[in-house]
Amino acid sequence: MARLLRLIALMLLLAGPAVAQDKKEVDLALVLAIDISGSIDPDEAKLQREGYVQAFRDPAIVKAILSGSHGRIAVAYFEWSDAWVQRLLIDWMLLDSESAIASFATRLANAPISIARRTSISGAIRYAIPLFGRSPFDAERKVLDISGDGSNNDGGLVTDIRYEALKERIVINGLPIMNDRPNPFGFPSETDLDRYYLHCVTGGPRSFVEVAHNFEDFPRAVRKKLLQEVADLGPRHDFDIGGRSDLREGVQLAQSGSGTLRRAIRGDDDYTKFVRPEYELGCDIGERRSREFWQRRFGVTPD
């Protein structure tokens, strides 16, 4: 019996590497994380969803997905709000043909739309890290794509969780939506959200922010951002954004580090180095604004 057990153990040991080698290689593992917090009404949530559906039905994006060195990417899609509210709509799906991409878009179009309450970007990043870890694919690049219309106001500090993601070599790109109206609770819009995303949310080599002027502009922004992510083009410029006023004009904000956007990223690179300097307002600005608003309006702070 002991001999049989040793033989079984040896077989399992030898089988382990073979299982790992069987993971299909993909050009990109892309996680799409979509804000469904209370500041987004059902019509706006629908516009967000349609933006992604249209993007994956766009011939240019389909061509980009199928034109990489492996000719395929893997995508997962989840929605987030409060620190512990994340809803996985589509688990890892291989996009390796026009029919597979069309199937992804159809599944996304048919998924129910829901709205929650708080805004926890840190919760979304925390959720995404193990999602990448259990991916059944071997990806050349890992990208977390976060879209939203507000700063973090629930859960851990966003920069702390971002650091954990960057340690896992996950690049974080952002799509802030410049929503110019107060949310249903009366919380004012955030005119500095693009800068907040750049300094506090995004990170990693060639990470960038693509600004959506409003929810109607979201489909354009999604298409442009996805094309860059799939093709690994990197942003066109490395902006020094101090005092700039053109951020609302749809320009992209880059975190390329050295300014050489197409430089080779070595396997031992420390992704935690690729972040912007500390935000002048502080990356806890969302939490502070939330506490001040609730205290001023209702005399209480949120739980």
Write the CATH number for 223. Answer: 3.40.50.410
Give domain status of residue 18, yes or no: no
Residue 114 predicted with pLDDT over 80: yes
User: Is position 213 within any domain?
Assistant: yes
Reported as a pLDDT band with limits 50, 70 and 90, residue 188 is: low
29 dihedral zone (left: phi>0; alpha: psi -120 to 50; beta): beta
Provide the domain limits for residue 176: 23-298
**pLDDT tens by residue, 144-166:** 999 998 999 999 999 999 999 99
266: pLDDT strictly greater than 70 = no
Q: Is residue 64 part of a domain?
A: yes
User: Are the C-beta atoms of residues 26 and 70 closer than 8 Å to each other?
Assistant: yes
Residue 2 has pLDDT above 60, yes or no: no
Average pLDDT, the chain: 83
* Mean per-residue pLDDT, 65-82: 96
- Of 58, 64, 65, 61, which Cα lies nearest the Cα of 26? 65
Model-level pTM greater than 0.75? yes
Give the count of domains, the chain: 1
User: pLDDT for 218-243, tens place per residue?
Assistant: 999 999 999 999 988 755 444 333 33
pLDDT of residue 116: 82
- Using pLDDT thresholds of 50, 70 and 90, give the confidence band for residue 75: very high
> Does a structural domain hold residue 50?
yes
Q: Which DSSP category does 278 fall into?
A: P
Instruction: Give yes or no for residue 180 having a pLDDT over 90.
Output: no
Instruction: Identify the pLDDT of residue 4.
Output: 52
9 within a domain of the structure (yes/no): no
159 within domain boundaries: yes
- On whether residue 16 sits in a domain, the answer given is no
Least trusted range by pLDDT, from 27-41, 175-189, 194-208, 284-298: 175-189
pLDDT surpassing 60 at residue 125: yes
**Between residues 99 and 257, the one the model is more confident about:** 99
DSSP string, 93-124: EEE-SHHHHHHHHHHHHHS-----S---HHHH
